[in-house]
Structure 1
Amino acid sequence: MKHAKESGDRDRRRGGFFLLTSPLRTLLQLSKTKLLMSIAALLAVGSLAVAGTWAAWTAQDVNGGNTFTTSTILIDDNQGGEAGSATATGVAMFNVTNLSPGSSATTKCIEVDYTGTATGMTLAGTLGGTGQATLQSELTMTTAVYNSTAGAAVTTPGTNTNSGGCGSYPGGADNSMGTQGATLASWANGTAYTASTMNHTWYKFTVSGLPGADSNCATYCNKTITVTLTWTLTAS
């Protein structure tokens, strides 16, 4: 038996080469096959990546230049005042000097215009001046009204074309703002009165003179009170 095994081993070695038995040969052949398949797979992936890079197209569709612009409004009067898309201070309607006990009342008018679609309009009064504390309870806002009939448009916005005149004040019904005949202190108490949303509206104001009983010069002489009227427009 020993000689037979040695003879078999010699038979498996020929020409200096060691002949593989069947199981080992199969194993190496399978490993070689898997290796070749792996190499082939890597080459295929690489070729796909290269082919994909070469075949990729890019394009962009652009919609530019979209704009968003705010609207604008303008409120102005025929005393030269305006606000909104343009601004100007304007000229005061009232410039009453030399008030004395028993002096007469003074009436002035103003027309207010606007551009845009009005959704609200208010009027508020503010008092000031070195003599406010003394005169605010002595002078009265005898009349504060607007007319429900529209007038003509302000001819030159930003320019005084009226000087407080009431010659163009239209006929028709008047609408009161606040208590008529109330003292200035009471009328201008921080309340914003509802004004007209109708364009080209005329407003009329009458402020009383100094009462005859206010004759004590030490109390009433050389006093100044100011009244600021502010229209606030809400529009779109």
Structure 2
Amino acid sequence: MTEVAAKVTSVDPPTTVDLVADTDYVLDSHEGRIVLISPACSPLHHGQTLIVRGVAQGLFTDADLGTYIGDAMQQHTYGRSLTTRYRDERGFLRYRHEPITLANLPAVEEPLVVYLAAINCLWTLATDAATDIDISTAEGTFVPRTQRYRQLMQHIGDATNGLQGRYNTLAQQLNVGLGRIEMFTLRRVSRTTNRLVPVFKEREYDDSSMPQRLLPPIDGQEYADESGVPSPAYPGLWG
């Protein structure tokens, strides 16, 4: 419920008092109800009538859609940034790395964000419909309430069908999204110190900025020694 107008009317004497939001009542927009908090109208006296008029969205409010679009943007642009080349005040060439937002999102990727936001919305509706069960009465009446859940899941689809398949196909063609192909740098271990060799981010040949250190994840933590016995190695030299 997005717009609410509430008032209290009395018969004797005939009066009408308009209630003020957050002063006389509190609105719960998700459940579509109001709670009277003002001592003047809570509880209602004998002969008083509470009149409430509200306008609500069909499925999702604008705030809900904004949340879904924000989640879709984070998923679609995860780990990506826009790189621009410029010359600073001292004449050196620099590279600016800006996170991708709705303001600088390429136009060709806008439908993909819409697809992903719609998929997230449909998953919410499917979760709500997952608890519905079919109704069958002794008179022969049958209400297939689970059909709503099946239709939602068919519309969402899988990796190749439905909205999810449409998004995956376009994302693969543009190599964007969480399933895009990425290149990683393998860590190398020095044979003299048995320590990982530092890895730095690749730069253009004319980039004069300071090198940026990278810390790729290291697997194999399940082989860690938890006995607590000290190792006879000299820290900083080898081992």
Taking structure 2 as the reference length, the TM-score comes to: 0.17
Instruction: Determine which structure has more spread, i.e. the larger CA radius of gyration.
Output: 1
- Relative contact order higher in (CA < 8 Å, ≥ 6 apart): 1
Taking structure 1 as the reference length, the TM-score comes to: 0.17
Q: Greater strand percent: which structure?
A: 1
